[in-house]
Amino acid sequence: MRTVRLSALDVAAVPLAYGQLLPVRGSPSAPVAREYDQRYGERIRDPDRALGKARSHSEPAAPSLRGRNHPRPSPAPRPAATADTAVRLESTGVATVAEQQGSQPWRSYEQACAGHEWRVPERYNIAADVCDRHPRSQPAMIWERYDGATRELTWGELQDLANQAAHLLREHGVGKGDRVAVVLPSTPEAAAIFFGVWKLGAILLSMSVLYGDESIRHRLADSSPKVLVTDSANANRFDPAAVGSRLVLDPGDGLLTGRPSDHICEDTSADDPAQLYYTSGTTGMAKGIVHAHRYILAHEEFVYCHEVQAGERFHGMGEWAWAAGIAPLLGPWRLGAVQCVYQRKGGFDPHLQLDFLSRHQVTNVFTTPTAMRAMMAVGNAGERYPQRFRRVCSAGEPLNPEAIRWFREQYGVTVLDYYGLTESYPLCANFPFLAVREGSMGKPMPGWQVAILDPDERPVERGERGEICLRARSNPHYPLGYWRDEEATAETFGGQWFHTKDAAREDEDGYIWYEGRADDVIIAAGYRIGPFEVESACLEHPAVLEAAVVASPDDVRGHVVKAFIVLAEGHQRSEELTDDIKGFVRARLSAYAYPRRIEFVDELPKTLTGKIRRIELREREGRRTTTG
């Protein structure tokens, strides 16, 4: 058992020991603990035990190119692991690729949970695990830019770049605990900088090139990075006085290749800080969340959901600035996948995205509901852009049933949705070995102690609405705290449960159904209505491309349901269409849950990660009522 205190590094300190439940926010009584264990006990493992070998499974070979009219190939046995794939982190005690994948499938969710244990070595470094351990001749990345430029890199080439990046950063004074800010597009050099930061024991803060200047200024002022690494296209956006040093890095400019490639990697603890993410938030300034090196070990969605095979081609659609962008880069790499990386010119283009995946014959994909909804606007996508998809998973926001059905119709693959937050991710998931119930976020990840609780942290009855909560300090992903905010760290992470502020219910079979943010619930005429179910029903209507639902003040009912709707191409705003959508949703939900008010809009307010900002819509409704 370990206890981590990092106040010396400006991280708000709170004791974080696996399995240790600290009564910072008040511990529940023994009967409450027993009530939890009786319901969820089959999912709980002792977090202080060493992680045994992860249960393994066989995989089908990469299927032949197919779209809507191409049949799914029959499964084939996984090739035996070679000596190269088996030579892994023996010195650190982390499970090898061969150990994690093995040869026998999980036959059930219960089997996967029963066989799960965490293995967290005392000494662990992300770069050593994800980058340095691969054979130099093994393919690592296929990179393509929007203008057609392509590069293919082996692990040897990427390892050299990573070591050169570490030497470059060390020349500019970067050491253990220092922050390094990165504002770069998705390139091999950007990945090398990431690894270089971790090799020095420093803390990575990666920011999107799509961030506004104010967002970047806040993050730089709050984190005080020793070095900022950016490219010539973005260099003029930054005040050199805001950081210790500013490095301008462009592919082929010699900044990295002019440095030595001698191996370098600090001996770091698994609990040393490695990653600083800033939450997008809906109110107030973004807060920095600090994760330790060990956090990547908890990203087992690539084992249980994606079922990543060594050597297969993987693509993640998220930007390398958020957990849903960096984890799909590091997790598959750790398991031996080849990353297919597409550097976009600007925003997301579904035609270019599907074309990229088709040409490079990608078999395993991480996407987002926002990206999937954009793809749904592509006519005959399966015929125009045939694919080799074996696994497709989604996260970042709730996945509507219509999107799942569209993807299955076009590509013969059921998209597996999983759920989590920057603080802890993923908590729940759908799995290949578990029947998918469309619209459900599935069941808790093996090894994750998740419960639906009431405001007093007691388990609610199945079928009742409650808050999704995670047992504190119960897995390697649990954060070290908020950056330089001791009070918020103690409040959020110091109790017995981490509160997600997301509402959900658990059905009789243990599936969890998202019902919106805990503060998004609509109370209309005494009825409690979750916005997500109304939005999902709206999206079933052929005229609706996107929908967001909030409470609208009403003199009679207190509040009524209001839907903000973006229309699909070919549909025009009209009173007839408004009435048709209302009747459509009412027939599918109830007489009290359908939207009594509908407003057509050109677009919905969203965060940079694509999540709908319902708070803006609620505030708009409040102003409308106030001004009459």
Closest CA to 325 of 610, 134, 517: 610
Question: Each residue of 437-475: pLDDT tens digit?
Answer: 999 999 999 999 999 999 999 999 999 999 999 999 999
- Show the tokens assigned to 98: 């061969």
CA-to-CA dists, residue 92 to 55, 337, 569, angstroms: 20, 21, 54
The CATH classification number of 520-627 equals 3.30.300.30
Token pair for 220: 């730089």
Q: How far is CA 179 from CA 137, 169, 293, 465, 612, in A?
A: 32, 11, 14, 41, 30
Q: Provide the pLDDT for residue 525.
A: 60
Burial group, residue 306, by CB count within 10 angstroms (0-12, 13-18, 19+): buried
Give pLDDT, residue 38.
53
Tokens of 369: 């509901």
Give me 505's structure tokens: 């219910």
pLDDT of 59 reads: 35
Rounded CA separation 330/195 (Å): 10
**What residue ranges do the domains of the chain occupy?**
520-627
Longest dimension (CA), the chain: 73
For residues 623 and 628, give the distance between their C-alpha atoms in angstroms, rounded to a whole number. 8
The pLDDT value recorded for residue 343 is: 96
Q: Which helix (H) or strand (E) holds 228?
A: strand 227-230
Backbone angles phi, psi at 248, to 5 degrees: -105, 115
Q: Do residues 448 and 423 make contact, with C-beta atoms less than 8 angstroms apart? A: no
- For residue 490, give the amino acid letter: A
What is the model's pTM? 0.76
Distance CA(431)–CA(304), nearest Å, equals 6
What's the pLDDT at 588? 79
The span from the CA of 338 to the CA of 79, in Å, is: 16
3-state secondary structure 100-154: HHCCCCCCCHHHHHHCCCCCCCCECCHHHHHHHCCCCCCEEEEEEECCCCEEEEE
β-pairing, 527-529 vs 522-524, is antiparallel
pLDDT at 518: 73
How far does Cα 559 stand from its chain's mean position?
33
- Rounded CA gap, 189 and 194, in Å? 9
Specify the pLDDT at position 51. Answer: 28
Continuous H helices in 350-444: 350-359, 369-375, 381-384, 401-411
pLDDT value, residue 542: 95
pLDDT < 50 positions in the chain: 1-34, 36, 42-66, 68-93, 96-103, 281-283
Cβ-based burial of 68 (10 A; exposed 0-12, middle 13-18, buried ≥19) = middle
CA distance 80 to 292: 33
Q: Strand 203-206 vs strand 227-230: parallel, antiparallel, or unpaired?
A: unpaired
Phi-psi domain of 175 (left: phi exceeds 0; alpha: psi -120 through 50; beta: other): beta
CA 55, CA 517: separation in Å to the nearest integer?
34
pLDDT at 284: 52
